Chain A
Amino acid sequence: MNNKITKEEIEHLADLSRLELTDAEKTKMAKDAVEILALVDDLQKAGVEKEQPFLFEDQVNITREDNNPQDCNEEEFLKQAPDRERQFFKVPRIL
């Protein structure tokens, strides 16, 4: 369907994907994307437009009390954080 993907499109997708890409990566990505989309393009001719999109019919939402399961240790989780202050994850100022 798409035989070309522009550099602007790649940059837009990288922005949506929260990825910083080098120029070389952008060039390779545009080429790969065209080839991969061509690979999956046969679906346009599969004649499935009238089907219902797939759903796990037997699945229902299950909720539970918002409590801390006994086997989770807060400190063990926080220890993995690149940056923290007391029991909080620390991020750059956003406002």
Chain B
Amino acid sequence: MELTNLNITELKKGYKENKFTPLDVVEAYLTRIKEIDNRVNSYLYVDEKGVLEIAKKMTGHGYPEAAAEKSQPLWGIPFSAKDLYLTRGLPTTAASKILENFVAPYESTVTKRLIDAGAILLGKTNLDEFAMGSSTESSAFKITHNPWDLDRVPGGSSGGSAASVAAGLAPFSLGTDTGGSIRQPASLCGVFGFKPTYGRVSRYGIMAMASSLDQAGPISSNARDSAAVLNVIAGRDARDATSSSKEVPDYTQFLGLDIKGLKIGLVKEFFAEGLDENVKKRIEEAIGLLEKAGAEFQEISIPKAKYGLSIYYILMMAEVSSNLARYDGVRYGFCKRDANLIEQYKKTRGQALGAEAKRRIMLGSYVLSAGYKDAYYNLAQKARTALRAEFEKVFSKVDILLGPVSPTPAFKIGEKMNDPVQMYLSDIYTVPINPAGLPAASVPCGFVERDGSKLPVSFQLIAPHFREDLIFQVAGNYEKLNPDSISKPNL
């Protein structure tokens, strides 16, 4: 039995039946990381010594029969986390030179909840610097390769997280999603990615990119694993005022519910020009399967969705320009000394921030500056109101929406790096969801051939606020209808 092939349910079962121990599992992952990750480059840091210590201790205490179902539902389950999560005592870099030597002095709420639930943090995964990008190529440290074709990008910005799950280097990972950064890399790597409703999961201790859009969520091999992780990380946190106190249900209970009569909307604007024909075909096949299972499809329109990219980029850049002001070389991180404080700020930031971060800070300053604020920032906030209202209206007609995640399968490394506009367009179907604050997931649904490579494709499910249950219900049904949709590359 290959331990690194097991999902969370299988690992839990194995522990319960005494087939293996956390130490066996952690050692299997560390060995596989050593063997494979020099080709994938998904991790920035692996806490080898720390995890072995924890796994030994757990193994010594033995399986906590009573606690495993209640307080420690993820006992002995390893995971990786995007290096945007603060993890106390461990390097936390946001893949930026400005934080190259930063060691987090406190723990994010999400990683703390997972660790308290018995999960074991293997290490920190690569990302686009400060989560800004769609390919993980703007990391200051390394390029992550797509496990299905090493010449291609894993997507981004949570590219290291998605690649670590696809390559069998962690059973699940934590990503963050500001405009698609969980869903798009999950799609390009053929794994399940879940972005909860804004406010469902605490953002405390996660480095902020655009605070009104950012949301944390899991990436895993299947929907059930993400539901099990969401059970632990969701819920009110006194340290994030935007976190919701709405009750957290057991999300795994929705996977088995049937979808007979469920109304699924197909957003007309998402199936328009620009969507790769082969990707479209896979999604239409998925629709066919769900229809046979009793779901009722209807075409709906969200006319403002075509402005999603503009709304998203304007608001995100504005929030980036203020959120990244804190990286000034005074309290932490890289510092380029100068006798004049303002010059010290400028030199520090000029030398240690990457091209994409600078671009977004500059344009954020532009859209917020006197003379342009009304034409850009204020207008985008008005359009955001209109976009949210349109989503609300379609949810009075249908239960859930289905569409593509990414217009194309994984692209080649280097292909879009010098053309920011082309890179931004790869997020066209994911970015409208964040200004609306809706929950959405990326569900693998087959493969397309590209230059002799087999590349994964996913469809996206979008639900009303706090209706995560509907996403798990549809995804759970789909995985049962098409079990081949869950597969791993040979590495």
Interface residues in chain A, defined as those with a beta carbon under 8 Å from any beta carbon in chain B: 1, 10, 13-14, 16-21, 25, 28-29, 32-33, 35-37, 39-44, 46, 48-54, 56, 59, 61-62, 71-73, 76-77, 79-83, 89, 91-94
Contact = CB atoms under 8 A, between A and B. Distances in A.
B379 A59 contact: no
Nearest to A16: B365
Which 4 pairs of residues, A with B, have the shortest CB-CB distance?
A20-B350, A82-B335, A53-B381, A80-B332
Contact of B338 (A16, A50, A77, A92): A92
24 contacts: A13-B365, A17-B358, A17-B362, A18-B325, A18-B342, A19-B350, A20-B343, A20-B350, A29-B359, A36-B313, A36-B421, A39-B310, A44-B375, A53-B378, A53-B384, A53-B385, A54-B435, A59-B241, A80-B103, A80-B332, A80-B333, A81-B332, A82-B330, A92-B341
B421 A25 contact: no
Contacts of A76: 105-106
A81 B330 contact: yes
A80 B106 CA distance: 12
A42 B105 CA distance: 44
Contact of B334 (A28, A51, A82): A82
Contacts of A39: 309-310, 313, 421, 424
Given A1-B375, A81-B330, A83-B335, A33 B385 contact: no
Contacts of B241: 59, 61-62
Which of B306, B338, B350, B369 has the most A CB atoms < 10 Å from its CB? B350
B335 A19 contact: no
Secondary structure of the B contact surface, majority rule: helix
Nearest to B344: A92
Interface string B249-272: 000000000000000000000000
Given A46-B304, A82-B335, A92-B341, A52 B242 contact: no
Interface string B323-347: 0010011111111011111111111
A31 to B, nearest CB: 10
Contacts of B364: 17
A85 to B, nearest CB: 13
Contacts of B282: none
B379 A48 contact: yes
Contacts of B106: 71-72, 76
A80 B331 contact: yes
Interface of B: 102-103, 105-106, 212, 241-242, 304, 306-307, 309-311, 313-314, 321, 325, 328-335, 337-347, 349-351, 353, 355, 358-359, 361-366, 369, 375-376, 378-386, 388, 420-421, 424, 435
A44 B367 CA distance: 13
Contact of B307 (A29, A42, A81): A42
Given A35-B421, A39-B313, A51-B385, A17 B379 contact: no
Contacts of B351: 20
B114 to A, nearest CB: 17
A54 B350 contact: no
Nearest to A50: B382
A13 B362 contact: yes
